[in-house]
A and B are shown apart, each in its own frame.
Chain A
Amino acid sequence: MSEQQFEPVIVGFLCNWCSYRAADLAGTSRTKYAPNMRAIRVMCSGRVDPQFVLKALREGADGVMIAGCHPGECHYVEGNIKALRRYVLLKRMLKQWGIEKERVQLVWASASEGNLLAEAVDRMTEEVRALGPLRWRQAVLGGNGHKPVETAEVEVEVEEV
């Protein structure tokens, strides 16, 4: 990674049936896209607990991408719709914490849409790059005079919100 340019780290929660395969297809088709997204496989975007997103941001990610099947195409009937509902609520919460909306994005990509997923990763990487590093852990946990808190305690705090 170059010293001058900020390379954001994005955690991607990809649905096993569509977006994960879309990323597979992007690779198989040798579509080149930003290496900034690190994928975690989940069985369904509906499995993405908002805690996963918060955890990733807290552990140092600059952005989180949740990717699932297009509405109406969910392998599990409507898990993606549940993901969407949670995402809308999560965004409100993130806004209150001052986390820009570009940092957490929900993307639809079917198994045949490798190029679409690659484009989304490229776009999001540039958006997050423009925003700069999040450093949430430092800003929130260390910056206001508190001592660093143990992870387990923070989780409880998040749940209460």
Chain B
Amino acid sequence: MSEKVGVYVCHCGTNIAGVVDVEEVSNWAGEQPNVVCSRDYKFMCSSLGQELIEEDIKEHGLTRIVVAACSPHMHEKTFRGATERGGLNPYLFEMANIREHNSWATTDKAAATHKAKALVNGAVERVVHHQPLEPIPVEINPATLVVGGGIAGISAALELADAGNHVYLVEREPSIGGHMAQLDKTFPTLDCSACILTPKMVDVEQHPNITLYSWSEVENISGYIGNFNVTVRKKARYVIEELCTGCGICEEKCPRKVVDEVFEAGLAQRKAIYTPFPQAVPKYPVLDPPNCTYFERGKCKACQILCPTGAIDFEQEDELLEFPVGNVILATGYDLFDSNRIPQYGYGHLANVFTSLEFERMVNASGPTDGKIVLRDGESVPQSVAIVHCVGSRDNNYHEYCSKVCCMYSLKFAHLVHERIPEAEVYNFYIDIRTPGKGYEEFYNRLLEEGTHFIRGRVADVTDAARLPGEEGKLIVQAEDTLIGKQRRIPVDMVILSAGMEARHDSQDVSLMFGMGCDFDGFFTERHPKLDPVATMTEGIFIAGACQGPKDIPDSVAQGAAAAARVAGLVNQETVMMEPVRASINKETCSGCRLCNDLCPYNAIVFHEDQKLSEVITALCQGCGTCVAACPSSAINGAHFTNEQVFSEIEGILWDVMEHQAVPA
């Protein structure tokens, strides 16, 4: 067997050529066995660079191509395309990563050039053993699952549904709307949050292409792009949705009051049967058994007795719904940082320290105080308010990252305090004011004019221990004002902690269930941080909104729409081509030991009892290769990562040490 290999060493401007002696690598490669043509070129990924490959294939009759350039995650597709246009099977190509893994990782030119030779040689030895492969066509089910009914999920669902695709929207809470439904005003336009959100919520409810499952959670998902099978647990509402008119009599008549920790952030009470807020979608209430008198003592049933349509059903049980979808968009949102974790800020033991979400509910016209800003006693109007930025964010003890929205919502809070209590003094304690966004800096300037005090310094603590005259009965906020270089003690009536955003507490479990990654902070990992922010490493699973990282409303909406566009693209294609990196079992050598059967994480290997042989179901196989590594008979072939290919690559990259360590005769 003699293959004709073409080697192309990319300069990538000076990205590679600045460190690696590309000319030497190219000349050296040209002397290696099987290599018939070796070149270096300024930008291999340019159309001229690609044409070089195409022409050489035709002119020199090349049968294999190696490009030494950047990571295959950048340009493998590009060069496979060039290989194919040259008339070769695209899988007869191999890439050597001499940029990310080499020229960018060292300044030692000699070592980098030497390593580049090793990597190129590994690719050359490997590519000789490549086999032509055909991509596997997969049909795409046009239905999509959207997980999470916050603004990102709503945007994604509406975009897809408007384009004529069916969407299943699954929401864990009784109503869609997410965090945005809790907010009063949105920065910087001061639009009423509910006024702009609720029409979209209604659109979701009424859209013929959207099936909404609220008070439901995804229990399980199996399958692969185009062909997922989803199991959703529809939790018992104890309300028959077909009969309920949403009149609200059950809620009104329910004698049991419970503190609403979720929607009202603990500031108000709800009933044991409730809709979280008046504009909730869907309108059906949810009964909360641990707090229901009937479930506790077997008596009451006030809601059932008084319901005009007989819609209350105490016997209702969770339902498991199963349906197929082609793609999934995860828009599971964020959790607010728990301010209890910073005890020196006094939340939880100093009454008039509020979290941002509590304040958000308080200033909301439909909130627990009808929009009045009052202290914890429910009456006193604060005359001075301190707003503490970066609570849990930009802090190595909690989260290193910036939560992105807190500066802007803190400015909004300051504005709302000025608006409602014109005589009040407002102090913003900040590290840096970050206002990157359309109209954001202008909003900051407006606040400066409104007379808000800005003190640059991280707050050390909030205390009620008065030390100086005028501090009695106040909360004292202590911080170093880094602009004047002095410690300051500011006595105030109310403190608001601008808590950051963090990943959902169960984001790890969710990422496991959907088979995609999340980072150390718990945010879902995108396929590429710059160029592919809504796709994940798993084909057919997309992410949108704050589950990917802290985000404000416009960014979440944009990402929701972007994820929807990606899915719509796949649905329109109807069929997508999958990488043919798949395992297959050689019937001749399979001993029928069944070792591989249990190893496969996708149950893609079946055992034929009659023939005593195992077989891989290609459509289910994801190509991880764990069975290939485990087969004691070496009967399983992992396409594109065969033993032969990897062994050859090992030999290739170790060419230098093999020579030095020749075995003594």
Contacts and interface: CB of A to CB of B under 8 A. Distances in A.
A35 B73 contact: no
A53 B115 CA distance: 19
B663 A23 contact: no
Interface in B59-79: 71-73
Contacts of B664: 138, 142, 148
A55 B73 CA distance: 27
B583 to A, nearest CB: 10
Interface in A107-151: 110-113, 118, 135, 137-138, 141-142, 147-148
Interface string B506-528: 00100110011111100001000
Contact of B517 (A42, A59, A62, A75): A75
B114 A76 contact: no
A42 B646 contact: yes
A49 B104 contact: no
B107 A32 contact: yes
A101 interface: no
Interface stretch (B238-246, B432-440, B647-655): B647-655
Interface string B568-584: 00000000000001000
A40 B646 contact: yes
A82 B625 CA distance: 11
Contacts of B653: 11, 38, 40
Interface in A26-41: 26-28, 30-35, 38-41
Contacts of B525: 110-112
B629 A86 contact: yes
Nearest to B126: A40
Contacts of A23: 100-101, 105
Given A86-B629, A111-B525, A38 B119 contact: yes
Contacts of A138: 661, 663-664
A61 interface: yes
Given A60-B660, A110-B519, A39 B101 contact: yes
A35 B537 contact: no
A32 B661 contact: no
Q: Which of B72, B538, B581, B647 has the most CB of A within 10 A?
A: B647
A26 to B, nearest CB: 6
A78 B110 CA distance: 40
Contact of A43 (B110, B115, B641, B658): B641
Nearest to B518: A73
Interface in B191-219: none
Interface string A10-54: 010000011011011111101111110011111110111111100
A76 B626 contact: yes
Given A27-B104, A40-B649, A148 B626 contact: no
Contact of B629 (A20, A46, A142): A46
B605 to A, nearest CB: 14
A52 B646 contact: yes
A159 to B, nearest CB: 8
B601 interface: yes
Given A35-B115, A56-B650, A141-B663, A48 B629 contact: yes
B74 to A, nearest CB: 8
Interface in B619-665: 622-626, 628-630, 638, 641, 643, 646-647, 649-651, 653-654, 656-658, 660-661, 663-665
Interface in B430-448: none
A152 B581 CA distance: 26
A104 interface: no
Given A59-B650, A77-B515, A33 B105 contact: yes
Contacts of A65: none
Given A69-B517, A75-B515, A75-B517, A26 B654 contact: no
B519 A35 contact: no
A82 B105 contact: no
Interface in B83-125: 97, 99-108, 110-112, 114-115, 118-119, 122
A110 B518 CA distance: 9
B258 interface: no
A109 B195 CA distance: 45
A24 B101 contact: yes
Q: Which of B515, B538, B601 has the most CB of A within 10 A?
A: B601
B249 interface: no
Contacts of B100: 23-28
B657 to A, nearest CB: 3
Nearest to A141: B663
Contacts of A142: 663-664
A67 B315 CA distance: 52
Contacts of B515: 75-77
A148 B101 contact: no
Contacts of B104: 27-28, 30
A40 B517 contact: no
Interface of B: 71-73, 97, 99-108, 110-112, 114-115, 118-119, 122, 508, 511-512, 515-520, 525, 537-538, 581, 599, 601-602, 622-626, 628-630, 638, 641, 643, 646-647, 649-651, 653-654, 656-658, 660-661, 663-665
Given A47-B628, A60-B654, A142-B663, 9 more contacts: A11-B654, A34-B106, A40-B122, A51-B643, A60-B660, A73-B517, A79-B624, A82-B630, A118-B105
25 contacts: A9-B654, A20-B71, A24-B71, A28-B100, A31-B105, A32-B105, A35-B102, A38-B653, A39-B119, A40-B650, A43-B641, A47-B629, A59-B651, A60-B654, A61-B654, A72-B508, A72-B512, A73-B511, A73-B517, A75-B537, A76-B622, A110-B517, A110-B519, A111-B537, A112-B525
